[in-house]
Amino acid sequence: MANKDIETKADIEHWVRLFYAELLTDAEMKLIFAHLDFEKHIPHIVQFWALVVLDEPGYTTNVFDKHVHLPIKDHHFDTWLNAFENVTKRLYTGAKADLAVQRAHVIAYTFRNKLNLKDR
C-alpha cells in the first residue's frame, strides 16, 4: 500500500517506469508504442511529469504534438487512465499523487477533444 507522496524526480522515474511496464501489457497499447525506444524516451516523460507534478522547469516540448501521429482511438484513453491511476495509487498517496491523476484526466480529455475522436 502507498504510504508517501510523489516528492522527487526519482519518485517520478520509478512511477513512470512501472506505469509503462503495466500499460504495455495491453496488446493494443503495446502496438501503439511499438516504434518507441523507451530507454531514450523515459527522461522526456519524467521531465514532463516533473513539470506537471513538481512544477520543475525543463520540459518545453508540446506534448500533444508528440502524440498526434499515433493511431490512438477513444478507448485507448480509458486503458491509459486505468493503468495510470492503478500504478499511481499503488505507489503514492497525497496531494501530488492526486494532482497527477487529476492532470492525467485533463490531458486525456484535452487529447480526446483535439483529436476529435468521436469521429474516428
Q: Is residue 37 part of a domain?
A: yes
Over its C-alpha atoms, the chain yields an Rg (Å, rounded) of 14
Q: What is the arithmetic mean of pLDDT over 1-8?
A: 88
Q: What is the arithmetic mean of pLDDT over 51-77?
A: 86
Q: Is residue 1 part of a domain?
A: no
CA nearest 11: which of 61, 44, 54, 68? Answer: 54
Q: Is residue 50 part of a domain?
A: yes
Predicted local distance difference test score (pLDDT) of residue 1: 65
> What does pTM read for this prediction?
0.88
Q: Is residue 71 part of a domain?
A: yes
Helices (H), the chain: 9-23, 27-32, 38-54, 63-67, 74-91, 95-114
Q: What is the arithmetic mean of pLDDT over 94-120?
A: 87
The span from the CA of 54 to the CA of 67, in Å, is 23
Q: Is residue 3 part of a domain?
A: no
Report the chain's mean pLDDT, rounded to a whole number: 91
Domain tally for the chain? 1
The span from the CA of 104 to the CA of 120, in Å, is 22
In this predicted structure, the answer to whether residue 65 has a pLDDT above a threshold of 80 is no
CA distance to 24, 45, 59, 67, 68, per residue, from 62 (Å): 23, 12, 9, 9, 10
Share of the chain above pLDDT 70, in %: 95
Predicted local distance difference test score (pLDDT) of residue 120: 43
**pLDDT band at 118, cuts 50/70/90?**
low
Question: Which domain covers residue 21, as residue numbers?
Answer: 9-119
| Cell numbers describing residue 46 | 519524467
Q: Is residue 68 part of a domain?
A: yes
Predicted local distance difference test score (pLDDT) of residue 56: 95
Mean pLDDT lowest among 4-13, 25-34, 62-71, 73-82: 62-71
What letter does residue 14 receive in the DSSP assignment? H
Q: Is residue 2 part of a domain?
A: no
The span from the CA of 21 to the CA of 91, in Å, is 14
CATH number of the domain that residue 49 is part of: 1.10.490.10
Predicted local distance difference test score (pLDDT) of residue 116: 76
